Structure formats: C-alpha cells, structure tokens
Structure 1
C-alpha cells in the first residue's frame, strides 16, 4: 500500500469515527478528550498504513486505554487530597455501565474453557505462562483458547 493510499485510508477512518471517538472520550475524560483523541489518531496511523485495522472502534478504544494507563504510570501513585472524592461518590456513567453489562453477558455465555482463560488473562491480569501453570495446560493451548475467546467476543459484538 502506498503512502497516499494509506493516508487516504486514515483520512476515511478519521472521517468515519472521529465524532464517535470524541463523544465517547468526552463522557469518560472530559477536559482530556482532545489530547487523548489526537494521540489516539497518531498511534492508529501505523496500523492504517499496514492495512491491519479490522475493528476500528475496538482498536481506538484499546489505544486510548493504553494512553490512560501510560499517563497514570508516569504520574505515579498519589494520595487523596481533601477536595478529592472516591470513585463511588462520582456520578455514574450510564454508557460505561451498559458496556460493562454487555461484556459480562458475553463472558457469561462463553464456553467454559474459553471463559476460564479469558477471565484469568483480562481480569486477573495473569500472563499466559501463569495461566498455563494454574490450569495445567500447555501455553499453546492458552494462546489458542484466548484467540477463540476473542473471536467469540467479536462475533457477539457483531450480532
């Protein structure tokens, strides 16, 4: 794919999803929205050049999640100040609740062997080697089940 074709692909992607991404980020991040969106598009550009984007929304959200994690790591831990509130005191984000319910439904309907690996990887944050040892299965089986679990999630989201 040539540079002009890749740039055109990124332009089409931006034109199609920029409004959606900005609205989605504004609900979660408020004032940081524009910076996060801009950085997300910069990080998405190489994928566009290689023609590797199958699920643009998922890719953009994953990039933003990684950006937020990176920022939090750079800031390091901080203690609560007098004016700070705990997360439970903040207004509930309805869209996030709906996303969490959808994810929970998808995971709960997943075949048990796939579900087990998916939960240990995505929620318990275990490495494939650790999952392999815990479940007493080869790492290649963990990898295969994770691929199948992600395919299952993608198929459920397309319904």
Structure 2
C-alpha cells in the first residue's frame, strides 16, 4: 500500500510541477528539454517513496543539475583501450581535431568547482545568476570561479 501512496504522491507532484519544470528546462536546454525532464522524473521516484518531498522545485532542479553534470562527465575524454581503433575516413581536419582534444583535456584538468562553472557558462549558455541557483552559490562566487577558470585556461595555453 505504501508504494501505491508514493506513486500517487509522485503523480500529484508531476501534475503540479511538470509544466514549470519543462518551461524552466526549455529556456536553458532547448531541444534536450524532454529527455532531461523525463530522466528527472524517473530519478525523483525514490524520493517520493521515502515520503513527502518538502521542497519539490529544489529537488527537481538538483536532479537536473546532477543529470547535466553526469552527461558532461560521460562526454569527457577517456583513455584509449587496446581494442579502440581509429577510422582514417573519419579524420576530416587533423588540426581542428587536435584543438578539440586539447580543449577537452584542458577542461577535464580544471579543478572541479571551476570546471562546473566554466562548463555551465560556456557550453550550457547559462547566465551567472542561473549558475548560482543551480550550484547553490552566490553570483559573486560564480564570477570569481569563472575568472579563475579563465586564468587557468590562459595559463595552460601559455605552456
């Protein structure tokens, strides 16, 4: 019976907040909105089974933040395995591919707090206010971290 009540609670949450979440995600992520929203609701299920969710909007935004970070980590470069092969036909412009690899390595080597702000600003195209809300930090901290991230990039490029 408890699972049935939890499912009803999640249904009520969905009915109440799905429009808000979709609108919020659409502004930030555009065509990724539906996938992120669906995955967010799936990840909200265990929380609804634990009982009443005190701050559903905050929970949903935190889930989406974690999803975005997870997706960014999955896209990060990984070490080549012995079984990995390179298709020579896919090599269109070696110079631009090298730049992309170097950029990815630079971003991955950044301290995590700087990297999170940098990625959300430059690749998710979020404003500092939105980044602050997403990471639960003041805008001044976002500005400081972004400045440090840019200094880090400049220092690495000078090497």
- Which TM-score tier does this pair reach, normalised by the shorter chain? 0.5 to 0.7
Matched with 2:138 is 104
Please state how far the C-alpha of 1:104 moved relative to its aligned partner. 3.3
User: What is the total number of aligned residue pairs between the two structures?
Assistant: 103
User: Which ranges in structure 1 are unaligned for 5 or more consecutive residues?
Assistant: 81-85, 109-118, 125-159
Go from structure 1 to structure 2 and tell me whether the alpha carbon gap of 1:34 and 1:96 turns closer, same or farther (over 3 Å shift): same
Q: If you compute each CA radius of gyration, which structure gives the higher value, 1 or 2?
A: 2
Matched with 2:106 is none
Please state how far the C-alpha of 1:47 moved relative to its aligned partner. 0.4
User: Which ranges in structure 2 are unaligned for 5 or more consecutive residues?
Assistant: 78-98, 104-118, 146-159
Higher relative contact order structure (alpha carbons within 8 Å, sequence separation ≥ 6): 2
Cα RMSD for the two superposed structures: 3.7
* TM-score calculated relative to the size of structure 2: 0.52
Residue 40 in 1 paired to residue 40 in 2?
Answer: yes
Please state how far the C-alpha of 1:96 moved relative to its aligned partner. 3.0
What does residue range 46-61 of structure 1 map to in structure 2 within 5 Å? 46-61=46-61
Q: Does structure 2 conserve the Cα–Cα contact (< 8 Å) formed by 1:22 and 1:34?
A: yes
Q: Does structure 1 conserve the Cα–Cα contact (< 8 Å) formed by 2:28 and 2:126?
A: no
* TM-score calculated relative to the size of structure 1: 0.52
